Each structure stands twice: as C-alpha cells, then as structure tokens.
Amino acid sequence: MEPAPFYSDVAEAPEGETCVWLGASDGVRIRAAHWRGGIKGTVLLFSGRTEYVEKYGPAAGEFAARGYAMATFDWRGQGIADRLIDERAPGHVGRFSDYQLDVQAFMSFVRAEKLPEPYFLIGHSMGGCIGLRAIYEGLPVRAVTFSAPMWGIKMPPLLKPVGWVLSHVAPLVGQGHKLVPTTSPLTYVLEAPFEGNFLTRDQAMFDFMQRQLTKHPDLAIGGPTLQWLGEALRETRALRKLPSPDLPCLTVLGAEERIVNAEAIHDRMGRWPGSEFDLVGSSEHELMMECPETRAKFYDRATELFDANRD
C-alpha cells in the first residue's frame, strides 16, 4: 500500500497514524487511516458527506483513551479521494452502491493491518446510511453506534416532489453532475457563519473545522449533485423497507437536527428491538463536534455499548 498524505498540522490526532491510498475494485482511489490506540477492538468510523480523515483526529484520541483502535477513510468523491467528475466542488457519486466498493477496500485494509478485533461501527450522517447497508451485506461488526444517521433527507414538504423529479430526470438528460438548486459549490463550514449554523453549537469545534478547510482547501467539497441526491433518495427509501438487523445498536440524535430526516430515525429505532435511542438536548447535527460534555457523553455511551459486546 502506498503512503498517502495526512495533514497532521490540523488533525489534532494522536501520533502514530498509518495513512495510505487504497484502490476500490472499480479503480477509484480512496484514502484510509488508522490509529492503534487500544487492544479492546477497533472502531470503524464511517463519516458523513463532505467529511475527511483529519476531521476525526480528535475521535481517534477519544477512542484510544477508552481502549480502542480506530480506522476511517475518505469516501470516493470527497476529502482527497478521487473526485468523480471534472469539477472538484460538487459532491457526486455514480450509484450509491458504489460506496460499498469503498467499504470493501477499507475492510481489506483493516484486515491486512491486523487491527485488533472485534470490530465496531460508528456511522455518522451519510456514513450511517452506507453503514446500515453494509451491515445488511455482512459487515463483520459486533455492535453499532449511529450519529444522526441519514436514513432520510430533510426537505420542505412542498419541495420533495420537485427533488424526486429533478434528481431522476437530470441524469437522463446528461445533467446529473449539476449542483442541486439552492446549494453552493462552496463548502458549508467556510460559507456559513457560526451563529445559526446547522452543525454545532460549539464555537471551538466550528473553528477547528474552519481551520482545516482554510489551510487545506483540497479537503473541501460543496453541495451535492442532482445525481447524488437521486441516488440518496432511492437508497434511503429502499432501506426503510427492510427489517432492522439483529445487532446491538445505539442511535444518538441532536434535538435541534436540521439536516437529516429525524422522523425516519424515530421510525427505524421504533422497529429495532433491543436498541437504544438518545435524543440530546441543545445539540445540532454533529454530536462528535458539539460541546465537550456532549462529545464525552457520546464517546462514553458508544464504548459502553462496545464493551458490553466484545465477547
């Protein structure tokens, strides 16, 4: 495996990371990293749309402090993984199932590196959608914690039919690479002010994300393409029809969530026997980027679940 860049100057991560390029089976190049922070097992962190390895440097330290190694990666089309269309700014994917090729390449990396077993999943936002599908396809994890999983996309009711039609028709007429109307080619973190942002109520963590993307703009992507939106709508609709997996699960959601569809999360958790659901007051979309107390509670709850399912 070829070493890949890792921007340690902005990651606030423990020392000793391994960061490499991986090739998915269709030839797309993605980037993966891991930290051997503990011997209890390995946390597989599936990040959200627009995200990248360095954003979860602090998470690697949190899991290490609780006895776990951590591995994560850049999804195709974001971070410094291969972009899929000529324009770098839009977030694009050909088919949502292509993300499972990234999962396969990542799991080959995890096994080749002999990271400690058992494995556990953290799925945030889009990573919660891809992660749920991966569980159905046999991802070898003992338990999962979801953070604001994208099991539905929040859209005003009057715009939902428009979103479905546009995202279906655009690829048929060669326009699937176009940005979703009302979205921007600029990355949200650098465009939005802290006051009223949809991600976090913690100024320090908002500043952390801004520093990363200001110093390394190659990590950034903007809004999604119409193709991405159509694929995401179809995948979330398909997942809603499936019964919940037989797997220990904790889902954590900010009470002020404004990005993913909270109703879809409540519906899924109501149909997941033996699962736990935690609604966190005064919190936005990014539970691992919220205030210190919220972050600590998230990592404690997640690792308590993992500790209970190691054997």
Neighbours of 173 (CB within 10 A): 7
In a domain, 192, yes or no: yes
What is the extent of the structural domain holding 299?
Answer: 8-308
In a domain, 2, yes or no: no
What's 138's domain CATH number? 3.40.50.1820
In a domain, 3, yes or no: no
In a domain, 247, yes or no: yes
Write the pLDDT tens digit of every residue in 41-95. 999 999 999 999 999 999 999 999 999 999 999 999 999 999 999 999 999 999 9
pLDDT of residue 242: 99
Which residues have a Cβ under 8 Å from the Cβ of 120 and sit 6 or more positions away? 41, 42, 43, 44, 68, 141, 142, 143, 144, 145, 302, 305, 306, 309
Query: pTM for the whole thing?
Result: 0.98
Q: Please state the domain count of the chain.
A: 1
Write the pLDDT tens digit of every residue in 255-294. 999 999 999 999 999 999 999 999 999 999 999 999 999 9
Confidence of residue 164 (pLDDT cuts 50, 70, 90): confident
% residues pLDDT > 70 (the chain): 99
**What is the Cα–Cα distance from 21 to 67, expressed in whole angstroms?**
26
In this structure, is the dihedral angle defined by the CA atoms of residues 124, 67, 201 and 90, taken in order, positive or negative? negative
Q: Which amino acid, 78?
A: Q
pLDDT of residue 182: 87
In a domain, 105, yes or no: yes
Cβ atoms of 19 and 94 closer than 8 Å: no
Q: Which of 219, 232, 235 is nearest to 83 (CA)?
A: 219
In a domain, 111, yes or no: yes
In a domain, 200, yes or no: yes
Write the pLDDT tens digit of every residue in 145-160. 999 999 999 987 767 7
Confidence of residue 210 (pLDDT cuts 50, 70, 90): very high
In a domain, 1, yes or no: no
